[in-house]
Amino acid sequence: MSGQTWMILLSIALGTYLIRALPYVWMARKLNKQASQGNVSSTPVWLTILGPTMIAAMFGTSLVPVEPSLLSWVATVIGCVATYFIWRRTRSMGYPIVAGVLVFGALTVFFG
Clarify whether residues 83 and 40 are in a common domain: no
The pTM (predicted TM-score) of the whole model is 0.52
Clarify whether residues 44 and 99 are in a common domain: no
- The per-residue pLDDT for 42 is 67
Residue 45 identity (one-letter amino acid):
V
pLDDT (tens digit per residue) in 19-56: 878 888 888 888 788 778 777 666 677 767 777 777 77
Count of domains forming the chain: 2
Clarify whether residues 52 and 102 are in a common domain: no
3-class state of residue 93 by DSSP:
coil
Clarify whether residues 22 and 74 are in a common domain: no
- Give, rounded to a whole angstrom, the gap between the first and last alpha carbons of the chain: 12
pLDDT (tens digit per residue) in 75-99: 989 999 999 999 899 988 788 888 9
Clarify whether residues 75 and 105 are in a common domain: yes
Clarify whether residues 40 and 95 are in a common domain: no
Clarify whether residues 58 and 95 are in a common domain: no
Given a cut of 80, is residue 14 above it in pLDDT?
A: yes
Given a cut of 70, is residue 13 above it in pLDDT?
A: yes
